[in-house]
């Protein structure tokens, strides 16, 4: 751990976990707002080694995420960076970290802080019922977000533990702990978007502290895609051929440089089932990583497999379940673009 834990049992503390990939002003705003609102003496910021509910190759080494957190929080002793999950390695479970703090503090003075998006699947967390029994929870949400006021609005696994919900949205649990909601005057930013901007060489000044941005550039933490993919037209053919090798159907590629579109190039392919579409997308992402050493900026839709979107910045690959592709007819959006003639082997 970066700094020693205060052993005073009566200290009211917060635990704020996440990937922090990278830490940004939205995280800092949440920390400061929650600390002030809930009168927390300290908040321990705990970067995870691996989120058990997410599979991503985009997360950078823990040493970089720790270094960035230390730089972002160095001028405020109220916030303490805790490296225990990085040191443990493997999948990071909140209950293991919380048990450590419960051994140091009175559990009624411990507040687990998490975002509204994380709270939506809270009942999928390991030993989530023990967490509800042992510590309090603070759920942060963006401005104008609708907060849950009825039991039915909460994750199903949480509902049986609710004793009462007052008019201020404070939830009293049967075990004696509480769930509080903090609606923040937040900055609309995400780590995913910041990584994408960095890889596309777009400005991120308003989202990162000066020290963190400097560290990222000096250590090449999120290198621009063009360094690894110097010729995107050649990259289009590489992706199309890889999909052809896996027996994908209806492979088409488009040059969109002369029209208004989210990317300069697009590749579309299909599978005969959602499972096959998932397999094509995963195998393509692996092959690109092996050949070019880059991860997709984002990969959306993989869990369902109906329409998987793999974003490589200047190229976006769409892998459909064939039935869904026929329904959306995405190629019609690019009629004024130019279809690339592929020479697939």
- Per domain, the residue ranges of the chain are 13-183, 228-340
Least confident of 5-9, 141-145, 182-186: 5-9
CA distances from 264 to 267, 311, 312, 338, 342 (A): 11, 11, 10, 11, 17
Q: Give the C-alpha separation, 54 to 75, whole Å.
A: 32
Q: Give dist(CA 43, CA 110) in Å, integer.
A: 10
Nearest to 49 by CA among 17, 86, 100, 94: 86
Q: How confident is the model at residue 112 (pLDDT cuts 50, 70, 90)?
A: very high
Output the average pLDDT for the chain.
91
CATH fold of the domain at 13-183: Rossmann fold (3.40.50)
Q: For 38-65, what is the mean pLDDT?
A: 88
Enter the pTM of the model: 0.81
- Would you give the distance in Å from CA 288 to the centre of its chain? 21
- Per CATH, 13-183 and 228-340 having the same topology is answered no
CB 263 within 8 A of CB 256: yes
Q: In the sheet that 315-321 helps form, which strands lie side by side, from edge to edge?
A: 298-300, 307-311, 315-321, 265-271, 249-255, 338-340
Q: Which has the closest alpha carbon to 167: 150, 184, 154?
A: 150
pLDDT band at residue 224, thresholds of 50, 70 and 90?
A: confident
Give the pLDDT score at 148.
Answer: 78
Residue 2: pLDDT band with limits 50, 70, 90? very low
What would the mean pLDDT of 74-95 be, rounded to a whole number?
Answer: 95
**CATH of 228-340 given 3.40.50.800, 3.40.190.10, 3.30.830.10, 3.30.460.10:** 3.30.460.10
């Amino acid at each position: 751990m970066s700094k020693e834990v205060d052993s005073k049992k009566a200290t009211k503390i917060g635990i704020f976990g996440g990937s922090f990939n990278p830490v940004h002003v939205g995280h800092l705003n949440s920390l400061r707002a929650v600390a002030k609102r809930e009168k927390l003496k300290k908040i321990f910021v705990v970067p995870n080694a691996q989120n058990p509910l997410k599979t991503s190759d985009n997360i950078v080494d823990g040493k970089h995420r720790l270094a960035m957190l230390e730089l972002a929080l160095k001028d405020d002793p109220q916030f303490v960076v805790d490296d225990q999950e990085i040191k443990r390695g493997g999948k990071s479970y909140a209950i293991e970290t919380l048990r450590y703090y419960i051994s140091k503090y009175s559990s009624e003075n411990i507040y687990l802080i998490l975002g509204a998006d994380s709270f939506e699947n809270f009942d999928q967390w390991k030993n989530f019922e023990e967490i509800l029994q042992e510590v309090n929870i603070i759920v942060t949400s963006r401005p104008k977000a609708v907060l849950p006021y009825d039991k039915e609005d909460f994750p199903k696994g949480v509902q049986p533990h609710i004793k009462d919900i007052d008019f201020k949205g404070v939830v009293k649990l049967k075990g004696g702990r509480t769930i509080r909601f903090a609606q923040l005057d937040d900055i609309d930013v995400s780590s995913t978007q910041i990584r994408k901007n960095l890889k596309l060489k777009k400005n991120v000044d308003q989202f990162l502290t000066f020290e963190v941005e400097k560290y990222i550039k000096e250590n090449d933490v999120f290198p621009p895609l063009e360094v690894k993919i110097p010729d995107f037209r050649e990259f289009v053919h590489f992706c199309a051929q890889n999909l052809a090798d896996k027996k994908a159907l209806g492979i088409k590629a488009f040059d969109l440089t002369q029209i208004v579109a989210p990317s300069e190039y697009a590749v579309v392919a299909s599978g005969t089932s959602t499972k096959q579409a998932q397999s094509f997308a995963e195998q393509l992402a692996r092959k690109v990583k092996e050949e070019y050493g880059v991860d997709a900026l984002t990969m959306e839709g993989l869990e369902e497999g109906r329409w998987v979107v793999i974003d490589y910045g200047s190229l976006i690959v769409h892998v459909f379940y064939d039935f869904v592709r026929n329904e959306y007819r995405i190629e019609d959006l690019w009629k004024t673009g130019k279809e690339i003639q592929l020479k697939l082997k």
